[in-house]
Amino acid sequence: MLLWVVMVRIISFFWIGLFVVIGSVFWARGVIFLDPDFGWHLKTGELILREGIPKSDPFSYTMPSYPFVDQTWLIDVVMARLYPAIGAIGLAGFYAVFLTLTLAIGVFGSVSRLKRITVERSLGLAALLLLAAATLLYYSRVHSQAMTWFFFSVLLWTIHSPERRKRYRYFIPFLFMFWANIHGGFMAGLATLAFFIIVRSIRRRRFLGDFLVLCLSSLATLVNPYGFQLWVDVGRTLLSSTLMRSIQEWLPAIQFINVGLPFLLAFSGVLIWRYKASFSPEALGLYGVFVLAGLWSQRHIPLWVVVGLPLSAVAVERLALEAVGMRGGRRRLVRFWLGVLLISLAIFVVQVRIVLQNVQRVSEEQFYPRWAVEYLRSTLPSGQVFSSYEWGGYFLWKLPEKRVFVDGRMPIWRWVPPPRDSGSAFEEYLRLVRGELPIAEVFEKYGIDTVVWPVVRYKDKPSFTDRLEFFWDAVFGAREDLPDFGERLVAEGWGIVYRDPVAVIYRKM
């Protein structure tokens, strides 16, 4: 009995330590990586607290009349409330907690008899957790998407278990009511719920209660400041060809190096296939759909991770139960899982090193025009400022006195504009930097007299990951070579008035 108590405590401390390490890594990534959208989320939250929900775009000079729908208004308000007290470092911790909870629900939510997790089960589940954390680390940051991953895990935890589904199904509409005000990913949750209910109803010919939950959940998403217009905006996002071809996070997963992804796909796929008889058709169908969705666009990979985790955890448990019935099976399984755990740990460590090294390039010190903004603040231009798309949110945050040409909200914005507004600022931006539009004509239209543009930097000694990314880009075409915008400005009579290692400021001479 004493040995059993000691073993349980060792396993408990093992899991606590593992989750602390994973949460700390998520937090470190959030601290180092400054998301390009962070600034506009924060400023939108502050604006809502001060003036209420904006009816049109309050931040750009290219589309000021556009009916702006903030799909993340509630979490923006939360960020605006928390930021003065805890800062960006605290917000990174806030999101790291939800990311870690997402993994915990996925790994343990479907495991039966949680208090009786044995050594072999712990080793298998720990290997699964490390691979999932390594894969998710690639996408984690201070961003509202993390809330969708968390809500998605709660939804799956509820609907996968017959007992929980019966007990908590009328909680689901309330989940969607909050979700719809926090992130547009609620639509993926609603589609998942509909798929699950429809397939289950066809199999069992009982649908009244489940369809009532689906209808209530759909209606609950309309409890938001925009009503049905939120659905329209989310649909526009999902169907936007501009996002699919121009925004990095929407491109196919094959174009990017995520070390954990192929190993998790193999681990999960093999186990789920081996014990496919243990899963319902709707659960297997969801897994297959999100595998394809993840390969189609890397933005959906975290949703596939969340879908696959509970199924993979159940498969680990089934393997442990099968080994118990074999002579010497438990001992062999412990050795097998120990080897897999060591491999998973090595993959996790490699992924952490690669990710934390790469995200330093998107830190405030190395990527954003911090000192250029200070210069502009001391010599505020009378006209409008034009800058890189990736810097739009940063300028809204750090130089709120000036509006921006384009930022991360605007790639899907397209309409028939009033005079002097743009029909699509993002498309106009792309055509301008590609050399398809004359600089003088566009700048005169919007009254632009200052340009802040990134310095082109070359490494004398590129690292191994730099060379690997260069090779990957050459094979899969993840980046687009553009003409040097700064050279075009100089050729048209613009002069450099400020330069630092990150940014150059041009003004018309």
pLDDT in tens, 107-159: 988 765 544 567 788 889 999 999 999 999 999 999 999 999 999 999 999 99
CB atoms within 10 A of CB 251: 20
CB atoms within 10 A of CB 475: 10
Tell me which residue of 326, 323, 306, 318 sits closest to 277, measured CA to CA: 318
Residues sharing a CB contact under 8 Å with residue 98, sequence separation 6 or more, in sequence order: 146, 147, 149, 150
Return the structure tokens found at 265.
């796909």
Query: What is the Cα 13 distance to its own chain's centre?
Result: 30
As to burial, measured by CB atoms within 10 angstroms (0-12 exposed, 13-18 middle, 19+ buried), residue 50 is: exposed
Residue-wise burial string across 369-379, b where 16 or more C-beta atoms lie within 10 A, e elsewhere: bbebbebbeee
What pLDDT does residue 324 have? Answer: 76
Q: What mean pLDDT do residues 346-367 have?
A: 92
Whether the CB-CB separation of 27 and 92 falls below 8 Å is answered with yes
Whether the CB-CB separation of 225 and 233 falls below 8 Å is answered with no
Q: pLDDT category, 472, cuts 50, 70, 90?
A: very low
331 pLDDT higher than 70? yes
476 pLDDT higher than 50? no
243 pLDDT higher than 50? yes
327 conformational bin, left if phi > 0, alpha if psi -120 to 50, beta if neither: beta
What pLDDT does residue 14 have? Answer: 83
The partner residues of 110 in beta bridges, in order of sequence, read none
Q: What is the pLDDT of residues 384-431, one digit of tens each?
A: 999 999 999 999 999 999 999 999 999 999 999 998 899 999 999 999
Alpha-carbon span 367 to 453, nearest angstrom: 11
Residues of the chain with pLDDT > 90, as a percent, come to: 69
Residues of the chain with pLDDT > 70, as a percent, come to: 91
Whether the CB-CB separation of 45 and 78 falls below 8 Å is answered with yes
3-class SS of residue 279: coil
Residues sharing a CB contact under 8 Å with residue 339, sequence separation 6 or more, in sequence order: none
Length of the chain, in residues? 509
Q: What mean pLDDT do residues 339-367 have?
A: 93
Backbone phi and psi for residue 319, each to the nearest 5 degrees, phi listed first: -65, -40
Whether the CB-CB separation of 216 and 176 falls below 8 Å is answered with no
- 1-10, 97-106, 162-171, 467-476: range with lowest mean pLDDT: 467-476
Tell me which residue of 507, 300, 222, 262 sits closest to 386, measured CA to CA: 507
What pLDDT does residue 469 have? Answer: 47
Angle between helices 301-324 and 145-160 (to 10 degrees): 40
Whether the CB-CB separation of 319 and 271 falls below 8 Å is answered with yes
Alpha-carbon span 427 to 248, nearest angstrom: 15
The partner residues of 453 in beta bridges, in order of sequence, read 504
Return the structure tokens found at 338.
């120990």
Q: pLDDT category, 235, cuts 50, 70, 90?
A: very high
184 pLDDT higher than 50? yes
480 conformational bin, left if phi > 0, alpha if psi -120 to 50, beta if neither: beta
Tell me which residue of 170, 183, 310, 280 sits closest to 237, measured CA to CA: 183
As to burial, measured by CB atoms within 10 angstroms (0-12 exposed, 13-18 middle, 19+ buried), residue 245 is: exposed
Return the structure tokens found at 37.
């959208």
3-class SS of residue 71: coil
First to last CA, the chain: 84
Q: If you average pLDDT over every residue of the chain, what do you get? A: 88
Sign of the C-alpha dihedral computed for residues 254, 259, 263 and 264 taken in this order: negative
Q: What is the pLDDT of residues 431-458, one digit of tens each?
A: 999 999 999 999 999 999 999 999 975 4
Tell me which residue of 373, 409, 375 sits closest to 393, measured CA to CA: 409
Q: What is the pLDDT of residues 54-112, one digit of tens each?
A: 999 999 999 999 999 999 999 999 999 999 999 999 999 999 999 999 999 999 887 65
Alpha-carbon span 427 to 228, nearest angstrom: 26
Residue with tokens 């921006």: 404
Residue type, 399: L
Q: Where are the domains of the chain?
A: 2-32+69-360, 368-508
Alpha-carbon span 71 to 60, nearest angstrom: 18
Residue with tokens 């470190």: 28
461 pLDDT higher than 50? no
Alpha-carbon span 122 to 116, nearest angstrom: 10
- 112-121, 278-287, 298-307: range with lowest mean pLDDT: 112-121
Backbone phi and psi for residue 211, each to the nearest 5 degrees, phi listed first: -70, -30
- 4-13, 42-51, 92-101, 367-376: range with lowest mean pLDDT: 4-13
- 26-30, 202-206, 366-370: range with lowest mean pLDDT: 202-206
Angle between helices 73-108 and 38-51 (to 10 degrees): 120
Sign of the C-alpha dihedral computed for residues 8, 14, 16 and 19 taken in this order: negative
Residues sharing a CB contact under 8 Å with residue 264, sequence separation 6 or more, in sequence order: 131, 132, 134, 135, 305, 308
Q: Where are the beta strands (DSSP E) in 365-447?
A: 384-387
- Quote the DSSP letter at residue 456: P
CA angle 359, 245, 239 (to 5 degrees): 110
208 pLDDT higher than 60? yes
What pLDDT does residue 325 have? Answer: 73
